[in-house]
Amino acid sequence: MCEFTIEELIERYPEKDKLPCAVAHMIAVMAEKSPSEVGKIADDMKVELTYCQLGLFGYGRKRKSYYKNLGRPVEIDKKILDEIKAKSPDGEIVCPVLWQIADASGINRAEAGNAADALGLKIKGCQLGAF
């Protein structure tokens, strides 16, 4: 068990009022809490979540093309693309499923996000509650 509260761990991140997705997930593991609980506390603290691991948000100023990290050309094996399509029959896929596909196939999560975006899929269900 971690000796710090989630709030204290968030406050320890050096960039004031910002918290990268990966750090929020690390805090959840350290505090033995769910990522959604960390996301809610960050939101309550007015801390902006940044650097989404799927590339969906937090990479620049809002309403600018570089705010997202999607749309970058990546080469994804057809087998992985087919798996992503199979997991999204209604045109939507949840964040944890994309993570599982990425982790199991050896691609990074941003590549999985790019692949889903290129397939025209809506990504939803952020574990941190950001979307």
Do 117 and 71 contact (CB within 8 A), yes or no? Answer: yes
The answer to whether the CB of 126 falls within 8 A of the CB of 33 is: no
Token match 């033995």: residue?
A: 32
pLDDT, one tens digit per residue, over 38-68 is 999 999 999 999 999 998 888 876 655 555 6
Q: What is the pTM of this model?
A: 0.88
Which residues make beta-bridge pairs with 114?
A: none
pLDDT over 70 (residue 25): yes
